A and B are shown apart, each in its own frame.
Chain A
Amino acid sequence: MNAITNKGWKASLSIALIASLLAACSGNNNNDASSSSAAPAASTSASPVASDSAEPASAYKDKYDPPVEITTVWGVDPALKFKNGESIENNVQTRWALDTLGIKIKSLWSVTDTNNAFVTKMRLSMSSGQDMPDVVTIGDEQLAQDLIDTGMFADAGELFDQYANDTWKKAMELDPGVWNPYIRDGKRIGIPVLDYAYNHDYLLWVRQDWLDKLQLKAPTTLAELETVMDAFKNNNPDGLSPDKVVPLSIGFKTTMNTWMGDPSWIFGAFGTIPGQWNVGADGNLEWGSINPAIKQGLDTLKQWRDKGYIPAEAALWDENKTAEPAVAGTAGIIPGPYWMSGWPLLDTAKNVPSAVWKPIAIPTGPEGKAGRHGTRFTSGVTLINKKMKNPEAVFTYQNYLFDHLADPAVGSDWDLGVFKGYDYDLDASGNPVYLDKIPGGEVNINRYWLVKDGARIPDAQMKALLNLADGKEPTTRLEKEVKNNYGPETPAAAKVLLAQPNISLTNMFTGPATPTMQSKLDYLKKIELQTFNEIIYGKKGLDEFDKFVADWKSGGGDAMTKEVNEWYASTK
């Protein structure tokens, strides 16, 4: 009886062992190939540029003749449309690059980036020994750090110093700390991809029509905010009964610091932002969530929840859920970025035609403090393979974009749009048309660029918005784009944001995950959110916070803080 199951066991194990030997053999060959010099994609002419120029004449050209080849891989945005039978490998942009710059873009592989497919595919591709591309732009923080750790990518910082043009360099200098996450042994591995400033900074969106009906002014302090919330709930201008109103729509299902509907600014009113590293009183970095000011924020949240100002089930609400009452017309205030004017708030009018949303500044606390979490100026990093034969070509490409795309002057080549028939077209009288009016549909060609979204100068969009906010007609292309593509209140929102630049607190730690972070951060975050929610829900008293801080420190928090500050010191 037992003999049979025993035999079965042995058989399974033997097969497994034999199979694994087979696999290990082929696996070995595989990885040996990848670690020794694998031939990169064939490229023609232009001599490779060493980091110190061995040849006096630089290989950098504005246009390469004969064309040089750059290989890359693509994580295609699922929403990206293609016209005229094009694909990510072969489209109006690739043709443009070849014709205008003499750069041939070859794609090693591409994947539709849904459900994290790009990150998964990249890791699998590495595991199976496939070649790494010459150039790749990575948005995922962790993947970027992993790739940098492979040691396969070049000191792009040096290349940048050598080849980038002034426009680009100036844009990069707007925040010198932007290189920090990508520095290893003093070398800048990878070029940060610049993004527009203030994309994630919060302000409060409030139902102006309700304020008007109640004849209330927009609140500027937390105390005034409470008065407003109370009026919204118990004296609702649309006649909604109190239990149907959500005066302040926030949620903290997974974190207190996220892209929409979070309560982080409430803590900001007491002097700290949870869930990120801030500069403490002594000049060192501290984890915002253990700052004593948190206690007051928690107390405020608890009271607000008891009074029904915030959703009773806020701990279950994620970002999207906070939008629901806003769109339904039952929420009075929702915190979030300036672009919310277009989404989701534009939809409120479809359900409640009289709804009007206006942006107001983050309110101050009892001591006049205010705080909101800031935005990093980067959205990813561009890595350049050490084995790339013509790294200067990347700069030719990007320099051109910085000069022509980032903020085209009126009357320049790309003033109206980039590719006719794609992101703009001309009607019969030669006037430009956009969006739905383009025959065949509009295509967001910004997703076609080699470097995600092309070239962005961090303050350009804000400048454009500010110009519009003062009532000027849009003249530059950026201004027109912003006017066409974003909701009506966006310029006003930008103005509100920029009126309070000093309260914007960005996460000051941008380096790779430290050893303690790798082993402890998840647990520390878990007890943090648990404690905060227990206090807000009245399951535990405010003193639980002190206990949490002690646990946090001894459970790895102190070690982590030490490592973080070592990193911080090294970047100064």
Chain B
Amino acid sequence: MRTLRRNWPFHLMVLPALLFLIVFNYVPMAGITMAFMDYKPWLGFSKSPWIGLDHFRALFEREDSIQVIWNTFIIAVLKIIFNLVVPFTFAILLNEVRKRFLNRSIQTLVYLPHFLSWVILGGILVNFLSTDGGFVNRMLGYIGLGPVFFLGDGNWFRFTVVVSEVWKEFGYSTIVFLAALAGINPALYEAAEVDGASRWKQTRYITIPSLMPIAVVVGTLSLGNILNAGFDQIFNLYNSLVMDKGDIIDTFVYRTAIIEGDFGFATAVGLFKSVISMILIVISYRLAYRWANYRVF
């Protein structure tokens, strides 16, 4: 009780967020039970038949489910890695541009692709990457490399998916790192200057370590997306030539469940994804704590 008397301001501060979360997140979470029902909208929660793990069985019984899960995993992992490394590096490099106007302009420009929708971007990419006169393949031709079927060859497809997404979003993620950079105490740099450290040394021993905590946070939280390889993008880009390497869980669920209104199955798949994400986040939280004594959240 004594702690509560001391702590009450903190509990009060958390309260508004907590209330919203309970109402808008926890109460609807009851809907996860749909994953175990053959949910029919007109029967609702109380009358839809309970089918236990049947949805999960159906998910894994499909001949291509392992392939689809694996595709999702690979693409998602690559995206998580590069969506961390690229903005991180970019923020550090951008930090070295001293002319304010240039710095801010570049910042703004790289942010813009975020606003493009994949519907539009899909069309642009088909043209840009076309084996039939598309810009990239023409450039490759000039340096003597054969045309690459970026969107029609399974392995290149994954590459294209990851690169195009990173290109689209790195500007947005960079902002987080820029904010973190702004928080580094300049006195540290001044002291390093005095000691004669080169800029590279300064970067290695001040900048990067200062950014690490945020990078770890962003990285850990992005593990929540470990099985979200990007529905919108894949949906607009994929085709049957790359199905075996490019079909992901979400597109597969879309075809089989969303269109048919099979909420139960869709929820079951969502639950599966969530459980995997949770496990990974817990692991990475513990690792961060054990190794770096850093509490991610």
Interface residues of A (CB under 8 A from B): 1, 5, 15-16, 19-24, 27-28, 30-32, 34-35, 119, 123-124, 126-127, 129, 142-143, 146, 149-150, 152, 243, 252-254, 311-313, 315-316, 321, 513, 518-519, 522-523, 526, 529-530, 532-534, 537, 555
Contacts and interface: CB of A to CB of B under 8 A. Distances in A.
B255 A522 contact: yes
A311 B132 contact: yes
B27 interface: yes
Interface residues of B, number: 47
B166 interface: no
Nearest to B151: A316
Majority-rule SS of A interface residues: helix
A555 B63 contact: yes
A19 B29 contact: yes
A20 B25 CA distance: 11
Contacts of B42: 34, 126, 146, 150, 152
B45 A27 contact: yes
Contacts of B41: 123-124, 126-127, 146
B141 interface: no
Given A20-B30, A313-B130, A523 B62 contact: yes
A143 B42 CA distance: 12
A312 B132 contact: yes
B93 interface: no
Nearest to A534: B241
Given A19-B29, A315-B239, A316-B241, 5 more contacts: A35-B44, A142-B260, A146-B261, A316-B151, A522-B256
Given A313-B132, A522-B255, A123 B261 contact: yes
A27 B30 contact: yes
Contacts of A32: 46
Interface stretch (B77-85, B98-106, B108-116, B281-289): B281-289
B259 A142 contact: yes
B133 interface: yes
B199 interface: no
B121 interface: no
Contacts of A123: 41, 261, 263
11 contacts: A28-B46, A243-B133, A312-B131, A312-B132, A313-B126, A313-B131, A513-B260, A526-B243, A529-B240, A530-B240, A532-B240
Contacts of B255: 522
B243 A16 contact: no
B244 interface: yes
B247 interface: yes
A34 B44 contact: yes
Contacts of B30: 16, 19-24, 27
B235 to A, nearest CB: 10
Given A23-B28, A243-B133, A311-B132, A523 B63 contact: yes
Interface of B: 22, 26-33, 40-47, 58, 62-64, 123, 126, 130-133, 149, 151-152, 239-241, 243-244, 247, 252, 255-256, 259-261, 263, 282, 285-286, 289
A316 B156 CA distance: 14
A72 to B, nearest CB: 18
B4 to A, nearest CB: 16
A226 B260 CA distance: 41
A383 to B, nearest CB: 13
Contact of B285 (A5, A30, A532): A5
A313 B30 CA distance: 46
Contact of A313 (B46, B123, B152): B152
A533 B63 contact: no
B43 A142 contact: no
B26 A19 contact: yes
B63 A254 contact: no
Contacts of A532: 240
A15 B22 contact: yes
A120 to B, nearest CB: 9
A312 to B, nearest CB: 5
A434 B123 CA distance: 36
Contact of A19 (B22, B43, B149): B22
Contact of A530 (B29, B45, B243, B286): B243
A142 B41 CA distance: 13
A19 B27 CA distance: 5
Contacts of B40: 146, 149-150
Contacts of A522: 252, 255-256
A315 B47 contact: no
